[in-house]
C-alpha cells in the first residue's frame, strides 16, 4: 500500500504517531522521551534508505545489509528506551 512496507512504513507510522500525540496533552510531560523515539524513527528512515541502495557487487550487498541491520538495531534500542521511560513517566504521574 503506497510503498510503505518494511522500515519505511514503520518509520512513517512512528512519526505519524508522534505528530498525533501532540493532541493528547502528554507532550509537555514527556518531551525528552519523545526525542528518543523520534531519533529511533530517523534511524529507521536511514535503514530504509540504505536498504534501497542497490549494487551490482555481491560484497557490497552484504555490507549494505549489515549497515542496514546496524541502523535497525540502533532504532529499536532508541524506540524501546523512549517507550519504557515514557511509560514510567506517565504512570508515575497517575498515582
* Interval 2-39: pLDDT, tens: 566 777 888 888 888 888 887 877 777 778 888 898 99
How much is the average pLDDT of 51-78? 86
Half-sphere exposure at residue 44, Cβ-oriented, CA atoms within 13 angstroms: 23
Full residue range of the structural domain in which residue 53 is found? 24-94
Residue 38 lies in a domain: yes
41-64: pLDDT as tens digits: 999 999 988 888 776 677 788 888
Number of domains, the chain: 1
Residue 51 lies in a domain: yes
DSSP E strands: which ranges in the chain?
Answer: none
pLDDT of residue 8: 80
Residue 35 lies in a domain: yes
Residue 50 lies in a domain: yes
Q: What is the C-alpha end-to-end distance of the chain, expressed in Å?
A: 42
Residue 58 lies in a domain: yes
Lowest mean pLDDT among 46-55, 64-73, 81-90: 46-55
CA proximity to 33, closest of 89, 71, 77: 89
**pTM, full prediction:** 0.80
Residue 12 lies in a domain: no
Amino acid at each position: 500500500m503506497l510503498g510503505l512496507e518494511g522500515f519505511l512504513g514503520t518509520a512513517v507510522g512512528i512519526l505519524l504517531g508522534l505528530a498525533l500525540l501532540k493532541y493528547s496533552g502528554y507532550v509537555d510531560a514527556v518531551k525528552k522521551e519523545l526525542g528518543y523515539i523520534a531519533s529511533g524513527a530517523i534511524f529507521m528512515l536511514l535503514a530504509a534508505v540504505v536498504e534501497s541502495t542497490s549494487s551490482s557487487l555481491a560484497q557490497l550487498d552484504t555490507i549494505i545489509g549489515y549497515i542496514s541491520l546496524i541502523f535497525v538495531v540502533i532504532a529499536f534500542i532508541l524506540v524501546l528506551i523512549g517507550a519504557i521511560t515514557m511509560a514510567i513517566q506517565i504512570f508515575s504521574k497517575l498515582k
